Structure formats: C-alpha cells, structure tokens
Amino acid sequence: MKADSSPASSVVATNNSAVPRSRFLLFIINAAIGCAADLVTKAWCFASQNLRAGEVAWVWKDHVGIQLSRNLGALFGMGQGKFAYFAILSIIAAIAIPIWLFWFRAARDVWLTFALGCVMGGILGNLYDRLGLSGDSWYGPGNTAPEAVHAVRDWILWQANDRWRWPNFNIADSLLVIGVGILLLHAFLHPDPPARDPSA
C-alpha cells in the first residue's frame, strides 16, 4: 500500500491526467484570432488599387511599409514554385497538431498550447491562399483563361536600407515565427526530466 503513494505513482497519475477544458479554448481562440487577423489584413491591403498598382505605403519612411507581393513558396520566399507541396504539408500539420495536443495530451502544458495555437493560426492563414481561396485569378504561363492564384499574399515590408531588405511577409508568417520561437524557448527552459529507472 505504501508503494501506491510513492513519487513514481504520482508521476504516472499526473501523466494520465486529462487535458483541462481551458486548453481547448486557448488553442481554438488563439488560432482563430490569428487566422482572422491574417485574412482580414490581407483582404484590406489587396483591395487597395494604389497598392495593387505597385505603390509602397510607408509607415516608417524607408524602413517599414506596406507593399504587395505574392509568394509561391514557403516562409519568406523559400521553395518558390512548390505551392502544392507546401499546401499538402500544411494540411498534414493542421491535422497532426490537434492530435498531439489533445489525443496525446501535450496540451496540459499551457505554453505548448499557446505556441501551437499561434502556429495553427499561421498555417491556416497561408493555407487559405495556397488553396486558391482568396478569390484572385491570373493568367498562368501558356494559359488562355484565368486561373485561381495559389500563392500566399504578403504585404509587410521591412528593410534596414535599400541594400538590405527582408522578404515581404504577412501576419501568418509572424505567427509561425512567434510560435516556433516560443517552442524553442520552452524546450530550452523546460527540458524533459530524465527517464526514471524502473529497477531503482
């Protein structure tokens, strides 16, 4: 009977505990707000005729502004032209994240839940564009009829000067970077405890 109250038994009981309902709300609300903010800002920026004509709207002259661009690749322009590949990866990630959080109960950790809510919001915002749901169309190479645009809409311009410019990005990209940053910081500050030796 004494063994049942040992620290090892307490660890097992803790590991088998249910995910608090508040974690479901934290994840869903975080992802929904992030995705909505991304899609609303994209729609607003790309509705501007002046911006669509190539104009730059400076918020901080020569450093921060709004400039429209389309990205057929991944984060910050990597992997250009492989939008279908990245769309498939996004769908897989959007399915895997909730499973890991709530089926395998990683959501018991509030910071993991918050970070992956950010990541999910970023994934959904850019996946919307990659699936051609933005409503925009263009004439692809060799096409005689317009086709849906399967490219991510970017609008945030940041540069140190004219020679050093960061690739245009959007709120979804920012959410992905923030989420991954929190995950890395969490892993550094809270490494997994060493496995307990059953024979000890």
Q: Which of 4, 62, 173, 192 is catalytic?
A: 173
Alpha-carbon gap, residue 53 to 200, rounded angstroms:
71
Between vectors from CA 87 to CA 85 and to CA 91, what angle results, nearest 5°?
120
Whether 162 is catalytic is: no
Give the active site residue among 4, 38, 136, 154: 154
Q: Helices 110-130 and 171-189 sit at what angle, rounded to 10 degrees?
A: 150
C-alpha to C-alpha distance for 56 and 51, rounded to whole angstroms = 6
The closest alpha carbon to 71, from 133, 139, 155, belongs to: 155
Rounded CA gap, 131 and 121, in Å? 16
Active site residue 154: yes
Active-site positions read 154, 173
